[in-house]
Amino acid sequence: MKPNASSFKIFSILFGVIYTLAFYFNWQMFRYYPLVGRFSVAALPKASGPPINWYGWIATAAIVSALAAIAVPRKLAERLPVGLSWQIPTLVLVVIFIYEKRWFM
């Protein structure tokens, strides 16, 4: 299947939203444990050190967004306003900044 602008539009709109949900609800496909140098689908014992969930959140958002971009019919995707492909990600960034301000104030 040849990628098109409509697929990229759907991916752009969904990636940030899915990433934010994955972060907030702690949905990750896997975790990375740097102390033992290992990726794991299941949580490892505390002796393995703290996990890095970020890689799993990125993978989750990328795969879900890509599948949605492929699944949404082209005609439906073309009807979405082009502005949504930058307005939704911008709104997601604002939401993330508001949520994360607790670390800086």
Q: What is the pLDDT of residue 1?
A: 47
Question: Tokens in use for 100?
Answer: 């994360």
In the chain, where the domains are located:
5-103
Q: What is the pLDDT of residue 6?
A: 83
Task: Measure the CA–CA gap between 91 and 62, rounded to whole angstroms.
Answer: 19
Residue 2 has pLDDT above 60, yes or no: no
Q: 50-86 burial by CB neighbour count: b if 16+ within 10 A, else e?
A: ebebeebbbebbeebbeebbeebeeeebeeeeeeebe
5-25 helix and 84-100 helix, angle to the nearest 10 degrees: 20
Q: What is the pLDDT of residue 8?
A: 87
| pLDDT tens column, 50-97 | 999 999 999 999 999 999 999 998 888 888 888 888 899 899 999 888
- Taking the CA atoms of residue 60, residue 65, residue 71 and residue 77 in that order, the dihedral angle to the nearest 10 degrees is 170
